[in-house]
Structure 1
Amino acid sequence: MSTSAEPRVSGLEVRSIDYVPLDERHGKLWHLGPLWFMSNAQIATLAVGLISITGGGNLIWSLLAIVAGTVIGTFFMAFHSAQGPQLGLPQMIQSRPQFGYLGALLVWLFAYVQYAGFNVFNSVLAADSLHTTLHGSVKLWVVVVTVVALVIALVGYDIIHKAERILTYTFLVVFGIFTVGVLVTLHYPAGSFDLGAFKWTPFLAQFGVVAGYQISWAIYVSDYSRYLPPDVTVRKTFYWTYFGSALGGIWLMVLGTLLAAWAGKDFDTIKSIDAAGDKVFSGFGAIVLLFASLGLVSVTALNMYGGSLTLISGIDSFKRVRPTLAVRLLTLALTAALSLVGALAATANFLANFNNFLLLVLYLFIPWTAVNLMDYYVVRRGHYAIAEIFNPRGIYGRWGWHGIIAYVVGFAVMIPFFSVGTLYVGPAAKALGGADISLFIGLPVSALLYWWLTRSLDVAAETRLALAEAAELERAAHEHREP
């Protein structure tokens, strides 16, 4: 748990997609734990735990699917965390060595859609919570949530970390009491804990959504570890990220499953939380919802922050961007505006199909995470010429065909195994009774194909170039810093 010798200059964060120089590195490694715990421990995550119950599965197998999906999905997400301190770069700009200077736009577009989609859901859910407890118009609360989240995202990295730590401590008290109340006061249908009532389709559907939700965090991870000093170990960085995210995810998904099993067809996220909380003592449901709205504001800020970085990366592909506060403000405002428009226009039908959105996210980012992790840990083993990532005519090229081919092929072989509710069920999924095992197809195919295609890469030459450019990289980073 290392800290840098130099504290960070206070104020609004200026850096965005650019390299963080060594004298600006700061923070404690354990801060990753509460950040990723609280990112998952918010009531939007409840929705991820519903699909098995609503699909005819019983409670015990739903809980086991949640644990299994979290254990596996978080494994891939957490390995991205070590990339931040070692490279000093946010997550998505790191796709250029695999996909190329322009080719990375493919995954950045999908990432931006994810940020927007989650923010629509999060801000509407927060607004509904505030409407239920404090009254007032839902649309007014959507605006308030968006503005507060925008301010947090603008101040940037440090306040996001601090806010998530404070919220974590409060969460343990509020949701600790709420969870005990749910376990003690609620009653569940007959057969809820019958291990003999196993059904493959709802189990795998729940597993897939959970794993996809956890993997979907992979596009955020280095954004919140890149200011850490590079001497932190990969193992400890992985552990703090993994256990923080996994524990937060399991806790809220399990709550979602318990509430759905109890409420049955009458389940509604806000109303069910309110009713279950009031069983502890009158008015406690409102306290839970008020705190939950703060958690949703914080994760909305995370999405704006990541969306801004992704948008800047995209713009930089066509016109070199000097990282300034003005650029951050502009891209944050645009990202917030798009999310606000989506939230104000959101219908009950959109919210009801949130699980389908989660599955689509899984499909889009399975091949990307496979390619990115294979490149970092096996092919290049963490050795990148960072300055070349920002060079449109650099060694990584404009189009990284190795990564693009591995991504497209990995995605294509998953299609027959897709099972997206009523939208699409592939022939292989139909043969399996509607079960979705696409995760187990896309991951190995994309990873192994990328490894095979990159066998001829001269990684040693890239490493020599990185060492030769190191001093210039530090100097350029200081020149780009605003006074």
Structure 2
Amino acid sequence: MPTSLVETRSIDVVPDAERHGTAFSQFTLWLGANLQITAVVTGALAVVFGVGAFWSVIALLVGNVLGGAVMALHSAQGPRLGLPQMISSRAQFGVRGAIVPLLLVIVMYVGFFASGSVLAGQAVGELTHLGDTTGIILFALLTAVAAAVGYRLIHTLGRIAGVVCALAFVYLGIRLLDRADLAALLHDRSFDFPLFLLAVSLSASWQLAFGPYVADYSRYLPRSTSARATFSWTLAGTVLGSQWSMTFGALAAAAAGDAFVGHEVSYVVGLGGGAAVITSLLYFVIALGKLTINVLNTYGGFMSMVDQRQRLAHAPSPRARRYIADHVGGHGVASASRTSCCSC
């Protein structure tokens, strides 16, 4: 078991001697990663697109469960292979064949990082009174440092964010319901199937976007870790965190309308009531939630870029090449395909 906080592994297979942790770590990580402002905005979009709050909540739950199940299947690969997600995709696409989907994944990471940095940078700017631009730069630097330290810090950050953000969302939910009548928000039960499917696709695509890197954060688990436990804890964390955030966003959008849409950060902070201490704490919570997910995107992006460099050079590391041949190649390809068909 490693004693250093700073990760020394890159995209090579993790040896059994360095494996550590339990499947429960996947619950805390994905709970913390999903209790954040971008998930809130995603939930609000269902209402903005015309779905009533009642059917929005149900549609978002359906999408989170369906997409989360596919995502959690990828997580179960981590202990078995000990490899980053995109490395194992060589079983489906080959070393050269996966270059195109890998490039698309990197572009996706950059987009997620940029949008997250803007939202969190606003919170950091308000918290430090240094302005949005400085806040974005500070947030980006903090993200880079955390991603460079690596796996152990990422999971520690997830545990902290899971607790802090959960407490904050309980408080924010109470404050929201103080302002709005829940029964009135859920009164409209008119059903439009195309709009319902649109809302399902919002949350399902949210979950599927984790697919290209979810195993990156379970690959250090001991090989003996149950695949069922890894799947179940990952699914529970990602569905609970995202549904909680998205439900809050849908209800906030239904209650506040234009006062929420386009002003998400200021609206959430405004729910605190204006007290300076509460306002600062809420800005901190917004920044912490975004830090967790942005570190995942940065870390996953780094893994993908290293993998891309190796593919373009046609030179996977000897250790990784041997491991893939022994554990993923041959009969392993069929089993890997069944459990990671969406690794692209």
TM-score normalised by length of structure 2: 0.89
Distance in 2 between the 1:244 and 1:95 partners?
24
In the TM superposition, residue 50 of structure 1 has moved relative to its aligned partner by: 2.0
Tell me the amino acid that sits aligned with residue 35 of structure 1.
Answer: L
Give yes or no for contact 1:37–1:247 (8 Å, CA) kept in 2: yes
Q: Which residue of 2 aligns with 1:308?
A: 302
Give yes or no for contact 1:277–1:286 (8 Å, CA) kept in 2: no
Distance in 2 between the 1:120 and 1:70 partners?
23
Q: Which residue of 2 aligns with 1:41?
A: 35
Q: Give me the CA root mean square deviation.
A: 2.5
Q: Which residue of 1 aligns with 2:322?
A: 387
Give yes or no for contact 1:82–1:234 (8 Å, CA) kept in 2: yes
Please tell me whether residue 232 in structure 1 is matched to residue 225 in structure 2: yes
Q: Which residue of 1 aligns with 2:338?
A: none
In the TM superposition, residue 461 of structure 1 has moved relative to its aligned partner by: 10
Distance in 2 between the 1:194 and 1:282 partners?
37
Please tell me whether residue 99 in structure 1 is matched to residue 93 in structure 2: yes
Please tell me whether residue 275 in structure 1 is matched to residue 306 in structure 2: no
- Give the match's secondary structure for 1:50: helix
Distance in 2 between the 1:390 and 1:235 partners?
25
Q: Which residue of 2 aligns with 1:75?
A: 69
Q: 1:460 to 1:190 in 2, by over 3 A?
A: closer
In the TM superposition, residue 232 of structure 1 has moved relative to its aligned partner by: 0.8
Calculate percent identity across the aligned residue pairs.
Answer: 34
Q: Which structure would you say has the larger Rg? A: 1
Q: Which residue of 1 aligns with 2:199?
A: 206
In the TM superposition, residue 322 of structure 1 has moved relative to its aligned partner by: 5.7
- Give the match's secondary structure for 1:217: coil
Q: Which moved further from structure 2: 270-279 or 85-94? A: 270-279
Q: 1:11 to 1:275 in 2, by over 3 A?
A: closer
- Give the match's secondary structure for 2:253: helix
Distance in 2 between the 1:210 and 1:75 partners?
12
Give yes or no for contact 2:32–2:160 (8 Å, CA) kept in 1: no
Q: Which residue of 2 aligns with 1:20?
A: 14
Name structure 2 gaps, 5 residues minimum: 336-344
Q: Which residue of 1 aligns with 2:115?
A: 121
Please tell me whether residue 54 in structure 1 is matched to residue 35 in structure 2: no
Moved over 3 A (4+): 187-192, 388-391, 460-463
Task: Write out per-residue CA displacement over residues 167-192 of structure 1, whole angstroms, 9 at most, x where no aligned residue.
Answer: 21222222222222222332479674
Tell me the amino acid that sits aligned with residue 244 of structure 1.
Answer: G
Give yes or no for contact 1:273–1:285 (8 Å, CA) kept in 2: no
Distance in 1 between the 2:5 and 2:249 partners?
38
In the TM superposition, residue 277 of structure 1 has moved relative to its aligned partner by: 2.5
Task: Write out per-residue CA displacement over residues 218-256 of structure 1, whole angstroms, 9 at most, x where no aligned residue.
Answer: 112110110111111111111110000000000100111
Distance in 1 between the 2:282 and 2:228 partners?
35
In the TM superposition, residue 131 of structure 1 has moved relative to its aligned partner by: 2.7
Give yes or no for contact 1:188–1:261 (8 Å, CA) kept in 2: no
Distance in 2 between the 1:59 and 1:312 partners?
43
Q: Which residue of 2 aligns with 1:254?
A: 247
- Give the match's secondary structure for 1:311: helix
Correspondence list, 1:131-210, <5 A? 131-187=125-181, 192-195=186-189, 197-210=190-203
Task: Write out per-residue CA displacement over residues 96-147 of structure 1, whole angstroms, 9 at most, x where no aligned residue.
Answer: 0110110011211111111111111111000112233432221111110011
Choose which of 207, 220, 235 in structure 1 pairs with 2:213.
Answer: 220
Please tell me whether residue 459 in structure 1 is matched to residue 338 in structure 2: no
- Give the match's secondary structure for 1:124: helix
Tell me the amino acid that sits aligned with residue 148 of structure 1.
Answer: L
In the TM superposition, residue 290 of structure 1 has moved relative to its aligned partner by: 1.7
Give yes or no for contact 2:33–2:161 (8 Å, CA) kept in 1: no
Distance in 2 between the 1:84 and 1:39 partners?
18
Q: 1:288 to 1:244 in 2, by over 3 A?
A: same
TM-score normalised by length of structure 1: 0.64
Task: Write out per-residue CA displacement over residues 307-333 of structure 1, whole angstroms, 9 at most, x where no aligned residue.
Answer: 00000000001223669xxxxxxxxxx
Aligned residues: 330
Correspondence list, 1:323-334, <5 A? none
Q: Which residue of 2 aligns with 1:466?
A: none
Tell me the amino acid that sits aligned with residue 240 of structure 1.
Answer: W
Q: Which moved further from structure 2: 232-241 or 176-185? A: 176-185
Distance in 2 between the 1:131 and 1:311 partners?
30
Give yes or no for contact 1:40–1:249 (8 Å, CA) kept in 2: yes
Q: Which moved further from structure 2: 106-115 or 270-279? A: 270-279
Distance in 1 between the 2:50 and 2:334 partners?
53
Give yes or no for contact 1:81–1:238 (8 Å, CA) kept in 2: yes
The answer to which structure, 1 or 2, has the higher relative contact order (CA under 8 A, 6+ apart) is: 2
Distance in 2 between the 1:149 and 1:460 partners?
36
- Give the match's secondary structure for 1:110: helix
Tell me the amino acid that sits aligned with residue 227 of structure 1.
Answer: Y
Please tell me whether residue 245 in structure 1 is matched to residue 180 in structure 2: no
Give yes or no for contact 1:20–1:88 (8 Å, CA) kept in 2: yes
- Give the match's secondary structure for 1:193: coil
Task: Write out per-residue CA displacement over residues 282-327 of structure 1, whole angstroms, 9 at most, x where no aligned residue.
Answer: 753442222111121221111110000000000001223669xxxx
Give yes or no for contact 2:172–2:268 (8 Å, CA) kept in 1: no
Give yes or no for contact 1:189–1:262 (8 Å, CA) kept in 2: no
